[in-house]
Amino acid sequence: MRSRENDRLAITPLTVRDECAVLRFSGELDRGSEEFYLDRIGAVVTSGYRHLVLDVTALVFCDSRGLNCLLALRWLLQRREGSLMLACVGRRLAAVLALTGSTEMLPVFASVSEALRSLPADQRPDWPPTGGVGPEIPLHSPEPLETSWQKDHNPHFPRDPEGRDS
């Protein structure tokens, strides 16, 4: 499997089908990894994947900045008539989602299989993945973040402390 990572976050594509991708997140989703996240996930969405299942089993930390990254992705996918699903959410992330009331906007599933079952059968990728090598999907955005994330209109796009786009 091909993984892209910085020193805080790794994003590994696990399986894809047409407009759906399953990605594994490992590490920390916070201010230190948000630019990396926005670039990598922006590339996935720009490539035509509009239904994303994020396996967050190995996501060990997610703060409010990371939560805004997830909400920004949800907003972007909804504009493309897609969906974002979180699978295998740990206690810490579940607590952040519950405390902020985000579970209504970010569907949480006990497993990747359960999340995929919420999609029509013809849109589901194979799970568990078949073959030994992960899918080849772009994990670097060829267009500027301003274009792929529509920063001016996305209410969840991470902003710096002074309120300007980061």
CA-derived radius of gyration, the chain:
15
Strand, coil or helix: 64: helix
Per-10-residue mean pLDDT of the chain, 166 residues long, equals: 67 93 95 90 90 97 93 93 96 92 94 96 90 66 54 60 47
Please give the Cα distance from 125 to 127 (Å, whole number).
6
- Class of the 4-137 domain? alpha beta
Q: Which pair of tokens denotes residue 17?
A: 């089908």
Whether the bond between 128 and the residue before it is cis, its omega within 30 degrees of 0, is: yes
Return the pLDDT at 149.
55
Please give the Cα distance from 4 to 14 (Å, whole number).
12
Return the pLDDT at 138.
67
Considering the entire predicted model, what is its pTM? 0.83
Write down the domain spans for the chain.
4-137
Return the pLDDT at 125.
93
Return the pLDDT at 68.
93
Return the pLDDT at 4.
55
Q: Are 84 and 54 in contact (CB under 8 A)?
A: yes
β-partners of residue 54 are 23, 86
- 119: enclosing H helix or E strand: none
